[in-house]
């Protein structure tokens, strides 16, 4: 049976749709919560077929607030060394970028919230994961921090109007700024006043979710299925 290590970095950024899809695909998953359950050491990755790291309200090097991120970075490095497939979402993607020498900055550029148009690059057409989705689609965004530069060995796979680095690959590691595991249910839990301070109206975001959610979920599942094919391949 396929076995994944899944790391939760923030209680507000849970596996969401991934849980249902992993169960439906007969995937065994070891769920670890940063700061609550200890992360396995790098050598323990031999017991897994892949690694998924979720989002959170931290910078990837903010080990004073989130000390487990140092252990998570060690897992990223080990996975890169042994070519273990890994998928990082938001903070998880930023962590991969940080480990490979990219530049991740706090509160940089325009924030993105709610369903956001994502365009894949020409390189995505040949990518084993991102070739599974439409060239233009929408995914849930929720960030004020972002990747602003990647090393030459990384391949840019997707962009948005406000954020150039929406998805990338290095080796068999994929990182996204957007949240393919999230849905309208996540937006319903967001604080309306905080959204207003960032320039977003919660009711508008919920209306957009009604329209864009179904097709976005299909692309999200296609993305996960394609990653799972890499894991099993």
Catalytic residues: 90, 179, 181
| Segment (H or E) for 156 | strand 155-159
Are the C-beta atoms of 187 and 140 separated by less than 8 Å? yes
Using the structure block, give the residue that is written with the tokens 């990647």. 150
Backbone phi, psi, residue 202, to 5°: -60, -45
Which residue from 106, 108, 5 is spatially nearest to 58, judged by alpha carbons? 106
Could you tell me the two tokens for 233?
Answer: 């391949």
d(CA 99, CA 225): 26
Are the C-beta atoms of 202 and 193 separated by less than 8 Å? no
Could you tell me the two tokens for 230?
Answer: 């890499």
d(CA 214, CA 50): 27
Are the C-beta atoms of 148 and 108 separated by less than 8 Å? yes
Are the C-beta atoms of 53 and 29 separated by less than 8 Å? no
Q: What is the CA 59 to chain-centroid distance, rounded?
A: 14
Question: Half-sphere exposure (CA, 13 Å, Cβ side) for 26?
Answer: 3
């Amino acid at each position: 049976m396929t076995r994944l290590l899944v790391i939760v970095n923030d209680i507000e950024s849970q596996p969401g749709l991934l849980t249902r899809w992993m169960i439906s695909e007969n995937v065994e998953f070891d769920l670890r919560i940063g700061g609550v359950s200890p992360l396995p050491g790098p050598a323990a990755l031999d017991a897994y077929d892949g690694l998924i790291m979720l989002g959170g309200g931290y910078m990837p090097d903010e080990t004073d607030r989130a000390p487990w991120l140092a252990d998570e970075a060690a897992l990223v490095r080990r996975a890169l060394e042994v070519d273990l497939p890994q998928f990082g979402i938001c903070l998880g993607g930023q962590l991969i970028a940080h480990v490979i020498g990219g530049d991740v900055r706090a509160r940089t550029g325009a924030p993105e919230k709610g369903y956001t148009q994502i365009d894949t690059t020409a390189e995505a057409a040949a990518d084993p994961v991102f070739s599974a989705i439409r060239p233009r689609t929408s995914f849930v965004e929720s960030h004020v921090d972002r990747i602003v530069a990647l090393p030459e060995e990384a391949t840019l796979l997707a962009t948005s109007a406000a954020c150039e680095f929406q998805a990338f690959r290095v080796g068999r590691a994929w990182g996204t700024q957007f949240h393919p595991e999230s849905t309208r249910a996540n937006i319903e839990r967001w604080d309306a006043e905080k959204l207003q301070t960032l320039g977003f109206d919660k009711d508008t975001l919920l209306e957009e979710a009604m329209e864009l959610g179904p097709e976005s979920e299909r692309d999200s599942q296609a993305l996960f299925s394609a990653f799972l094919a890499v894991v099993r391949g």
